[in-house]
Chains A and B, each alone.
Chain A
Amino acid sequence: MEKFTTLDGIAAPLPLINVDTDMIIPKQFLKTIKREGLGKNLFDEMRFDDEGNEIKGFVLNRPAYRNAEILIAGANFGCGSSREHAPWAIKDFGIRCVIAPSFADIFFNNCFKNGILPIALPAEQVEALMAEADKGANARLTVDLKEQKITTADGQAIAFEVDPFRKHCLMEGLDDIGLTLEKAAAIEAFETAAAQARPWV
């Protein structure tokens, strides 16, 4: 997994609540058997019209935000289906950090597995960052995972929380499966005991 330490990039504002994973990546793009290449269809139905032309007003089509690496959105971001295609598409587009007042559970988890940092902040702070992001390409944000701090272009700093284990994995680019396999003895012991206690499983 790609490491995440600090990110200095353009933040795109998407002031919508309940952005669901169907909006992030519509189902017609779930038919792939690969993880890559989904970025071109990120937010497809908001980004392109029926003929496949760009819809002008959509934030990621605006010149200032075409290379955004941070997304700022409304509450309950990533609700709906468990499709990991959603974070794959976000990552493939080039976005490495999503900031919102709250996230849906599965999406939140999926982000960490793909080198994306989701940050939940109080609504007022998200609003302030949204206003910042509205200023366009000059409004870069710096996200420092080690210090757990977001810094705006004019030097304001906002602290954020992150689970220590997930922070460690993101910073080191660690593969969960490898870590868990180190506990193979504990898993085996559990299976032996369970075979006694619940043999019908």
Chain B
Amino acid sequence: MAGKTLYDKIWDAHLVHQGDDGTSLLYIDRHLVHEVTSPQAFEGLRMTGRTVRAPGQTIAVPDHNVPTTVDRAKGIENEESRIQVEALDTNAREFGIHYYPVSDVRQGIVHIIGPEQGWTLPGMTVVCGDSHTATHGAFGALAHGIGTSEVEHVLATQTLIQSKSKNMKVEITGRLLPGVTAKDITLSVIGHTGTAGGTGYVIEYCGEAIRALSMEGRMTVCNMAIEGGARAGLIAPDQTTYRYVQGRPHAPKGAQWEAALSWWKTLRSDDDAHWDKVVTLRGEDISPVVTWGTSPEDVLPITAAVPDPASFSGGKVEAVRRALDYMGLTPGQKLQEIEIDTVFIGSCTNGRIEDLRAAAAILKGKRIKDGLRAMVVPGSGLVRAQAEEEGLADIFKDAGFEWRMAGCSMCLAMNPDQLAPGERCAATSNRNFEGRQGRGGRTHLMSPAMAAAAAITGRLTDVREIAAPQMA
């Protein structure tokens, strides 16, 4: 019999019941909750007289709707947003779950604070009513997004009805060249497989270039597994993981740490494990990339030009035509000649301390292009505090960036941080869909360093040209 993958092992360790019809009941170790996808679930509990089965394993934080201006203690102006955040306040209190209100310095994007507080640990099952739950897979945890009905199901039963996905291995061999980051890896993989390439699979990322990444970088990679269509992304835990986890507020301590560690060390795919699909990219072949269209698969090296719809096939021809029309681009136009109006650095993809360091390294001693709007939205209050301590906040402010409070902000523009119609943004977030950052807004996805470079020149820019000496 073939060995097991990491996914198989975590699955087996959480199987409560296996039905005859192929559906399984899976135990959920951590349930993360935010204000947008949970009110109807709590309402459902109330209506049926049910309770939260494991409040100690349930963590809630408002992030999508919260203002990110420094004066946000004044309250939320938009009434619907305010009601949604207030509903979470009430639900968290009433059902007795862990809660980080807007006023708490530990508040931030749910996928950033889960790991930061040590809630996310290797070998766990983690769910949240949010597709980017995939982020937590960086710890070797099986983590994926669920819908609101499933949020209610997990609240009530601490389990989820699931059918097992297939196993896919994405291997990045060798090393990354200077100027190439985790974001470029994850975008390049999606460019390679397409946004449906991972549908039906759980991806395990492996290979030397993945091993060399920090936890922050690994979270960036797994965060976008969902953009590749996969249910979840995983990276086997190793020393880098343990070092990040140890000492976090909710990480195990003492004898429990030792016990946990010895189990975590078994969490790797066996050499003879069976893979249903394998994708291999050479680290050296990956360039700094940007997206040009309205799907994350519309990605090219920054040195390339806008493609011709005719060079695609099937339904993609029409989709590309529509995308170029929406994006206001013409085939053959050099990507580096595309001028931007806004720069957004933040989100659960790239709102961690290392991301801010990478952007600040490019911006140090420089100014953003006149007339540009640029903002940094740290992923959590603690990331913000650390960046201030390290002097990064001053670098951003001196360069002309707005220095914001933590939240999702312009990643999806549910709060007032939005693009105007036709405005073009260099963004470190994960989705470039039509209207994602504001109706008619045009989004180009890229790494924090590339976004910083674009801020300086006012157009999409090859970071290697701006920062050649630093990268040598």
* A residues in contact (CB < 8 Å) with B: 15-18, 20, 22-23, 26-28, 30-35, 45, 50, 74-76, 79-84, 87, 102, 104-106, 109-110, 113-114, 163-165, 176-177, 180-181, 183-184, 186-187, 190-191, 194, 198-201
Determine whether the beta carbon of B124 is less than 8 Å from that of A33. no
Chain B residues in 8 Å Cβ range of A87: 147
With CB as the reference atom, state the residue of chain B lying closest to A184.
B157
Determine whether the beta carbon of B431 is less than 8 Å from that of A113. no
What total of A-B pairs shows CB separation below 8 Å?
Answer: 181
Q: A176-B153, A180-B161 are in contact. Are A200 and B21 (CB under 8 A)?
A: no
Task: Count residues of chain B with CB under 8 A from any CB of chain A.
Answer: 77
Q: Which of B110-129 contact A (CB under 8 A)?
A: 121, 123-124, 129
Q: A82-B147, A194-B27 are in contact. Are A163 and B22 (CB under 8 A)?
A: yes
Determine whether the beta carbon of A106 is less than 8 Å from that of B195. no
A199 to B149, CA, bound (A): 29
Determine whether the beta carbon of B196 is less than 8 Å from that of A102. yes
Chain A residues in 8 Å Cβ range of B150: 109-110, 113
Closest approach, in angstroms, between the C-beta of B168 and any C-beta of chain A?
13
Is B434 located at the chain interface by the 8 A CB criterion? Answer: yes
Determine whether the beta carbon of B199 is less than 8 Å from that of A105. yes
Is B36 located at the chain interface by the 8 A CB criterion? Answer: yes
Is B17 located at the chain interface by the 8 A CB criterion? Answer: yes
Determine whether the beta carbon of A76 is less than 8 Å from that of B199. yes
Q: A16-B319, A33-B43, A45-B435 are in contact. Are A198 and B260 (CB under 8 A)?
A: yes
A22 to B65, CA, bound (A): 16
Determine whether the beta carbon of B431 is less than 8 Å from that of A80. yes
Binds A, one of B76-84, B332-340, B379-387: B76-84
Determine whether the beta carbon of B229 is less than 8 Å from that of A113. no
Chain B residues in 8 Å Cβ range of A23: 433-435
Chain A residues in 8 Å Cβ range of B152: 177
Chain A residues in 8 Å Cβ range of B144: 106
Chain A residues in 8 Å Cβ range of B27: 187, 190-191, 194
Is B273 located at the chain interface by the 8 A CB criterion? Answer: no
Q: A79-B196, A82-B129, A163-B21 are in contact. Are A104 and B229 (CB under 8 A)?
A: yes
Determine whether the beta carbon of B17 is less than 8 Å from that of A186. yes
Among A31, A35, A81, A187, the most chain B Cβ lie within 10 Å of the Cβ of A31
**Contact residue among B22, B319, B414, B439 (Cβ-Cβ distance under 8 Å from A17):** B319
Q: A80-B433, A165-B21, A180-B157 are in contact. Are A201 and B199 (CB under 8 A)?
A: no
Is B37 located at the chain interface by the 8 A CB criterion? Answer: yes
- Knowing that A84-B147, A113-B149 touch, tell me 11 more A-B residue pairs with CB under 8 angstroms: A16-B318, A18-B196, A23-B434, A31-B78, A31-B81, A31-B83, A34-B40, A80-B131, A106-B144, A110-B147, A181-B156
A138 to B19, CA, bound (A): 43
With CB as the reference atom, state the residue of chain A lying closest to B53.
A187
**Contact residue among A31, A82, A83, A109 (Cβ-Cβ distance under 8 Å from B65):** A31
Mark B86-122 against chain A: 1 for CB-CB distance below 8 A, else 0.
0100000000000000000000000000000000010
Determine whether the beta carbon of A183 is less than 8 Å from that of B22. no
> Can you sample 14 A-B contacts with CB below 8 Å?
A16-B319, A17-B318, A30-B64, A45-B434, A45-B435, A74-B315, A76-B196, A87-B147, A105-B200, A187-B25, A187-B157, A191-B27, A199-B256, A200-B256
